[in-house]
């Protein structure tokens, strides 16, 4: 009876059985995964436990929603081939990249490949969302990729240590905009993040995300909320922690907008941005 219900073409009938029943035989699930449509595949993808054999089929046949559910399902086992397929599909897909990067069983070589292709924003979100063990693995993978490419680190190394340094400077009365400019000129990402976070009363992970975002608007809001002068902002942009790419007329236009933007409006806007990110992470 369970097998007949699971194979029903009506997803309203088959869905709950496919998603929840532990009485369906593995062979029946495999046949359903091979023959049914995306709604049936989606129901299978959220099962508490999935073998590599089933996951392989779902990844080969499933659409974006199915693959996304699998990536978020800690009980779904991935074969190496399946991981390779999904990592390739994740290129240009920030949400899938984040979901994959947080899986504890992703092979290191594929994690490095994923991080190499990911945007600055995805890398910073991964670090912000990961637990301590996973965060360490991601940081090590990022450092390894950077070394292989002959680059500096992706800019996100030890924010906690930088926060400690910046807070000590602040307690001693030595922290100022001039110090921030020095950090930016030396391309000290962690210290710039920690200082701007302190000045703007924003979480350091959030500021790190803005610094690595490929768009500059959010960063300008944070800088204005921190009451920075334009020369300081220009130095932060010039550090090129991301692909802000502002020069010439674009830089002049940004300066005009920055000078016209009020500190109070920036502080309100910054709080809204932080709240929205928190809501998104909680959902």
Length of the chain: 283
Q: Over the stretch 191-248, which tens digit does the pLDDT of each residue have?
A: 999 999 999 999 998 898 888 877 788 999 999 999 999 999 999 988 888 755 667 7
CA-to-CA distance for 180 and 228, rounded, in angstroms? Answer: 10
Q: Please, what's the largest Cα pairwise distance for the chain?
A: 75
Q: How many other C-beta atoms are found inside a 10 Å radius of the C-beta of residue 37?
A: 11
Q: Provide the token pair at 170.
A: 């602040």
Q: Is the CB of residue 241 less than 8 Å from the CB of residue 192?
A: yes
CA-to-CA distance for 74 and 241, rounded, in angstroms? Answer: 33
CA-to-CA distance for 11 and 15, rounded, in angstroms? Answer: 5
- Each residue's pLDDT, cut to its tens digit, for the chain (283 residues) gives 788 888 999 999 999 999 999 999 999 999 999 999 999 999 999 999 999 999 999 999 999 999 999 999 999 999 999 999 999 999 889 899 999 998 989 998 899 888 887 776 677 677 777 777 787 788 778 777 655 654 444 444 568 888 888 999 999 998 999 999 998 888 888 899 999 999 999 999 889 888 887 778 899 999 999 999 999 999 998 888 875 566 778 788 889 889 988 999 999 999 998 888 777 666 5
* The dihedral formed by the CA atoms of 118, 122, 128 and 130, expressed in degrees to the nearest 10: -50
Q: Which of 258, 158, 259 is nearest to 205 (CA)?
A: 158
Q: Is the CB of residue 54 less than 8 Å from the CB of residue 30?
A: yes
Q: Provide the token pair at 111.
A: 């994690």
Residue with tokens 């920075």: 228
Helix (H) or strand (E) holding 68: helix 64-72
What phi and psi, each to the nearest 5 degrees, are found at residue 211? Answer: -65, -30
């Amino acid at each position: 009876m369970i097998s007949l219900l699971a194979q029903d073409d009506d997803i309203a009938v088959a869905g709950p059985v496919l998603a929840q029943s532990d009485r369906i035989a593995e062979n029946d699930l495999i046949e359903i995964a091979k023959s049914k449509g995306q709604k049936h595949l989606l129901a299978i993808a959220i099962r508490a436990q999935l073998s590599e054999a089933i996951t392989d089929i779902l990844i080969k046949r499933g659409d974006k929603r199915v693959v996304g559910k699998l990536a978020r399902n800690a009980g779904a086992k991935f074969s190496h081939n399946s991981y390779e397929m999904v990592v390739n599909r994740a290129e240009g897909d920030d949400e899938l990249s984040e979901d994959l990067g947080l899986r504890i069983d992703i092979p290191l070589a594929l994690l490095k490949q994923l991080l190499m292709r990911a945007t600055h924003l995805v890398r910073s979100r991964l670090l912000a969302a990961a637990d301590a063990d996973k965060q360490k693995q991601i940081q090590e993978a990022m450092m390894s990729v950077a070394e292989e490419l002959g680059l500096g680190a992706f800019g996100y190394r030890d924010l906690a240590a930088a926060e400690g340094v910046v807070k000590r400077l602040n307690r001693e009365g030595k922290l100022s905009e001039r110090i921030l400019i020095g950090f930016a000129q030396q391309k000290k990402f962690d210290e710039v993040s920690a200082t701007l976070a302190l000045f703007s009363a924003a979480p350091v992970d959030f500021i790190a995300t803005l610094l690595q975002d490929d768009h500059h608007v959010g960063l300008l809001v944070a800088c204005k909320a921190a009451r920075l002068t334009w020369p300081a902002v220009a130095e932060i942009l010039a550090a090129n922690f991301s692909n802000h790419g502002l020069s010439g007329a674009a830089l002049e236009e940004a300066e005009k907008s920055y000078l016209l933007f009020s500190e109070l409006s920036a502080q309100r806007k910054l709080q809204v941005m932080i709240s929205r990110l928190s809501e998104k992470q909680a959902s």
